[in-house]
Amino acid sequence: MTDTSPGTSTEFRVAREDLSRFMQAALAAAGADQASADAVTRALVTASRMGTDSHGLRLLPHYLQALKGGRINGAPNMMFHQRLAATGFLDADDGLGHLAGYTAMEHATAMAEVAGIGAVAVGNSSHFGAAGCYALTAAERGYLGLAFCNSDPFVLLHDGAKPFHGTNPIAFAAPVAGDNSYLLDMATSSVPWNRVQQFGAIGRELPDQVAANAAGQVSRVPSEVAALLPLGGSAFGFKGAGLGGMVEILSSVLSGMQHGFNLLPMGGPDMSTPRGVGHFFLAMKPDAFVEEGTFARGLANYLTDLRAQPATQGSQVMAPGDREWRCQAQRDAEGIPLDSANQLAYAEIAEEYRITPLSQLG
């Protein structure tokens, strides 16, 4: 850590402790209370360590802007209403979705400990970063975890001409004895919206069957693209759209929120009106179905068989999460990279909020 003045080097890497320190200071300066700042920092650092860069450190400026604008309540009074033995509602009081997510999953696992399974619908919330963070926190405590969230419309319905669903993610995690968790975290579109922007910036064509123009026709030209296709493309997108619909129903309909089509855009320009995002979290105790230990043994066998499968030439078969855990080990050792846009954004935050800048790893 020799350089305390972040420039725009493409090799800029930071230690996760330093990144956490910076995020917590910035969030506090923008009005987040301790619990909120801790939750956002935990979620963003988790995503950045795993290589989920679309949902990692690049989102900090966005959350600071939403706190400053008043859209997000930095000191929420989140209230959990348990309705029955295994279900309840968390009113997130327009606070940060990350705090809502971790809090809701704590309630879900607590109910699962008693009833075998627990589910929490969350309303009056906001963008929560990567859905995988909350499924993962359940798995780290020994539970199966599921997390869902709606978002503003970018994705076409099957045969649709206009975006209707968000990229509505599904995250599923399972605890693996003595190892990192099984972790699936996927949008129900093939690619996220920022992939279109990235391909446009470098002048590349998009993969086939991932996006469409304003008439709903498949397009590979980023500048023409007006919407994403659901997973499955024009032939099998009824599956991706159906999954996106399931996520929507669980996230917004079950929590009494407006569905995603009616959400204010995440990107603004309105940064003062709360959006009313909805989430849904579910936790299950693996030993609440058959004899204790059966699940752990079965999952280990399954993963051993899966990882032993032959791959196509030049490839390797991996379980969901394997790529992420490999990236995490590497970034924990070498630091988390910031591209030039993020270096600039973090330098501006340091200046605006008078925070000691990030230290570049030497």
Q: Which residues ranging from 126 to 155 are in contact with a second copy (CB under 8 A)?
A: 144
d(Cα 213, Cα 81) in Å, to the nearest integer?
44
Nearer to a second copy, 114 or 221 (CB): 114
Q: Which of 61, 232, 335, 357 binds a second copy (CB under 8 A)?
A: 232
Q: Which residues ranging from 273 to 312 are in contact with a second copy (CB under 8 A)?
A: 282, 284-286, 288-291, 294-295, 298-299, 301-302, 305-306, 309-312
Q: Which of 157, 196, 277, 336 binds a second copy (CB under 8 A)?
A: 157
Q: Which of 74, 132, 245, 337 binds a second copy (CB under 8 A)?
A: 245
Q: Which residues ranging from 179 to 198 are in contact with a second copy (CB under 8 A)?
A: 182, 184, 186, 190-191
264 lies in the site for a second copy, by CB under 8 A: no
315 lies in the site for a second copy, by CB under 8 A: yes
Q: Which of 1, 75, 114, 221 binds a second copy (CB under 8 A)?
A: 114
Q: Determine phi and psi for 140, rounding to 5 degrees.
A: -65, -25
Q: How far is the CB of 184 from a second copy (least distance, A)?
A: 4
Three-state SS annotation for 254-280: CCCCCCHHHCCCCCCCCCCCCCCEEEE
316 lies in the site for a second copy, by CB under 8 A: yes
Q: DSSP character for 129?
A: S
Q: Cβ neighbours of residue 297 under 8 Å, at least 6 residues apart? A: none
Nearer to a second copy, 19 or 112 (CB): 112
Q: 315: burial class by Cβ within 10 Å (0-12, 13-18, 19+)? A: exposed
Nearer to a second copy, 57 or 191 (CB): 191
Q: DSSP character for 313?
A: T
88 lies in the site for a second copy, by CB under 8 A: yes
Taking a C-beta distance cutoff of 8 angstroms, is the pair 279, 101 a contact?
Answer: yes
83 lies in the site for a second copy, by CB under 8 A: yes
d(Cα 318, Cα 309) in Å, to the nearest integer?
9
255 lies in the site for a second copy, by CB under 8 A: yes
How many residues bind to a second copy according to rule CB under 8 A? 90
Q: How far is the CB of 296 from a second copy (least distance, A)?
A: 9
Nearer to a second copy, 21 or 323 (CB): 323
Q: How far is the CB of 303 from a second copy (least distance, A)?
A: 9
Q: What's the Cα-to-Cα distance from 295 to each of 36, 106, 320, rounded to whole Å?
A: 34, 22, 18
Radius of gyration of the chain (CA): 20
> Which of 249, 278, 262 is CA-nearest to residue 127?
278
115 lies in the site for a second copy, by CB under 8 A: yes
Bridge partners of residue 120, in order along the sequence? 88, 281
Q: Which of 134, 143, 154, 172 binds a second copy (CB under 8 A)?
A: 172
Nearer to a second copy, 11 or 292 (CB): 292
Q: What's the Cα-to-Cα distance from 263 to each of 6, 36, 169, 228, 245, rounded to whole Å?
A: 36, 23, 16, 17, 15
Q: Which residues ranging from 323 to 352 are in contact with a second copy (CB under 8 A)?
A: none
Q: How far is the CB of 43 from a second copy (least distance, A)?
A: 21
Taking a C-beta distance cutoff of 8 angstroms, is the pair 6, 358 a contact?
Answer: yes
